[in-house]
Structure 1
Amino acid sequence: MRAFSAGVHLAGIGCRGHCFALAVFERFTVIRSIETLSPGNAKRLQGIFFDIDDTFTTNGRIGGRAFQSLWDLKDAGLRVVPITGRPAGWCDHIARMWPVDGVVGENGAFYFCYDEEKRTLAKRFLAGEDLRKRNRLRLEKIKEEIVASVPGAATASDQLYREADLAIDYCEDVPPLPWEEVEKICRIFRSHGAECKVSSIHVNGWFGDYDKLSMTRIFVRERWRLELDSNKEEFLFCGDSPNDEPMFRFFPLSAGVNNVLRFTPRMKHLPSFVAEREGSEGFAEIVETVLRKRSS
């Protein structure tokens, strides 16, 4: 698959303008350009949820326009919450230091929220400390099996800062593995009864019935006194990879940065809209479009 700024070309089939046509499993799936977001939908938004790696970043770096976009959203009165697979240690920093209203981390294992008036960080884990400790011991055995069975796979460099999951690096700090090897990592996780999701850089595995969406529901209910299922049309989610599928499936308004197109043949649930640009530039494009539509 080749992705272009104004469309996608696959197997001799292309589309230009405001739609991106993808031939997936011998069918066409059309993802509209973010430019087709209606002013009415943009004006109804209360906030934006977004993934971090390769959505808010490009090649591991946060672009200046993307970070400024967070301040622009806050200045416009919108709520802003990253929903990420990154570890608790990173999320502590994000909740305290970024212009955000909270953060959901480790694919839904917890949320953190900083109270600026009290100057305290609220931490809400789905599993208690004792259970997390027991699960980490179980995950350690899975890690040993994966590293022994999948040459080139490695424990993610941020594993030391994780509370609830195991992150296996398949292309962040190691040479990219073939997709067949990524699938093998997933099979090993599942053979032990663990859940797993593939991001743009890691395969994350954990014990527990949760994902990004389930903890986002809890966050919205506990911090904002809202039922997300009754207000989902008032939020937009931005993402880029298969571990964002629960969010793409749930939110009527969801947007992918352009690099999401690399994963679409392996995804069942796609975003409603797509940006012309990749990574952090795509995120900035989405935010700029939302704010422009709100003011029109």
Structure 2
Amino acid sequence: MIPLSQLSLEKARSIRVILTDIDDTVTTEGMLTASAYAALENLQRAGFLVIPVTGRPAGWCDHIARMWPVDGIVGENGAFYFRYDRERKKMDQHFWASPEELKQNRTKLDAIEKEVLASVPGSALASDQAYRLADLAIDFCEDVPALPESEVDRIVAIFERHGAQAKVSSIHVNGWFGDYNKLSMAKTILADVFGMGWEEAKQSVIYAGDSPNDEPMFAAFPFSVGVANIHAFEHRLKNKPAYIAKGHSGDGFAELADLLLAAKRQHAS
């Protein structure tokens, strides 16, 4: 991973879209700091497209799409995208699965939930599970004492034994049924809403993240950044981000924003 400070001005000037994880990438220890929120707002005001790509639930994503300075959001690790049209005052929603498929998948996820909670002491249903539509989130350190990595792996194994996908974030194991992830829905919102094809996206999008569930994005985008706390998960990553920020969590995201904004100002002057 190359220090973010070594991203050349020429390359930085080619960036038009910022895709970013939220937990421990924009937030810091569960809090959205003023500097990280200002980074989002400053990027959008400068003309960048800003789209969080998160494992967080539909209920949160509705709020974020409406009230944050963002141009859309991908939620539940790629289950959907939401985009609030402020002129029409309408929330546009696109789901990977049909309503019937979501209902069938929920029944299967309910069975996995019971098995995980019975088999892995100390694990818990994520506190935001009530606001989820497509996945199951198991908490291993957000609102419970941190579980050993071996227990996190046990949770993943249970999901996979049932035929579900499972990804580890910095706080949860998220599992779902369906052939999608953060990358597939990110491609969808870029194409559907912003008319951006994949070849163009590879040249003009940068992705920021911090954990293994960001790996599809790190692998796909030539411009990808890990905030400094990604070092805690480095041994679990086959595909690492191209660049690494000095700052942890929201400070690292603000570092990325400052670099992109400075490059744009220099280009304009």
Question: What is the TM-score normalised by the length of structure 1?
Answer: 0.89
2:143 equivalent in structure 1: 173
The SS at the match of 2:54 is coil
Q: What is the CA distance between 1:231 and its match in structure 2?
A: 2.6
Deviates more, 1:94-103 or 1:230-239: 230-239
1:99 aligns with 2:31: no
Q: Which has the higher strand share?
A: 1
Q: Deviations over 1:112-155 (max 9, x none)?
A: 00111101000100101111011111100000000000000000
Q: What is the CA distance between 1:47 and its match in structure 2?
A: 1.2
1:114 equivalent in structure 2: 84
Q: Distance in 1 between matches of 2:34 and 2:235?
A: 31
1:163 equivalent in structure 2: 133
1:262 aligns with 2:238: no
Give, as a single letter, the amino acid of the residue that structure 2 aligns with 1:85: G
Of 56, 73, 81, the match for 2:51: 81
Of 102, 105, 117, the match for 1:132: 102
Q: Distance in 1 between matches of 2:162 and 2:2?
A: 39
1:21 equivalent in structure 2: none
Q: What is the CA distance between 1:75 and its match in structure 2?
A: 1.6
Q: Distance in 2 between matches of 1:195 and 1:204?
A: 8
Q: Distance in 1 between matches of 2:84 and 2:202?
A: 23
Aligned 1:45-84 pairs, distance under 5 A? 45-84=15-54
1:149 aligns with 2:119: yes
Q: Distance in 2 between matches of 1:237 and 1:230?
A: 14
Q: Deviations over 1:166-208 (max 9, x none)?
A: 0000000000000000000000000000001000000000000
2:246 equivalent in structure 1: 276
Q: Distance in 2 between matches of 1:277 and 1:69?
A: 14
Q: Distance in 2 between matches of 1:172 and 1:78?
A: 31
2:152 equivalent in structure 1: 182
1:231 equivalent in structure 2: 201
Q: Distance in 1 between matches of 2:249 and 2:152?
A: 22
The count of residues paired between Structure 1 and Structure 2 equals 266
Q: Distance in 1 between matches of 2:99 and 2:122?
A: 32
Q: Deviations over 1:245-273 (max 9, x none)?
A: 00000110111110001101110011111
1:197 aligns with 2:167: yes
1:287 equivalent in structure 2: 257
| Maintained 8 Å contact 1:102/1:111 | yes
Q: Distance in 1 between matches of 2:21 and 2:77?
A: 10
Q: Distance in 2 between matches of 1:213 and 1:65?
A: 27
The SS at the match of 2:56 is coil
| Maintained 8 Å contact 1:38/1:293 | no
1:20 equivalent in structure 2: none
Give, as a single letter, the amino acid of the residue that structure 2 aligns with 1:217: K
Q: Distance in 2 between matches of 1:230 and 1:42?
A: 15
1:41 equivalent in structure 2: 11
The SS at the match of 1:263 is helix
Give, as a single letter, the amino acid of the residue that structure 2 aligns with 1:145: E
The SS at the match of 1:123 is strand
Give, as a single letter, the amino acid of the residue that structure 2 aligns with 1:59: E
Aligned-CA RMSD value = 0.8
Question: What is the TM-score normalised by the length of structure 2?
Answer: 0.97
Q: Deviations over 1:5-39 (max 9, x none)?
A: xxxxxxxxxxxxxxxxxxxxxxxxxx111111111
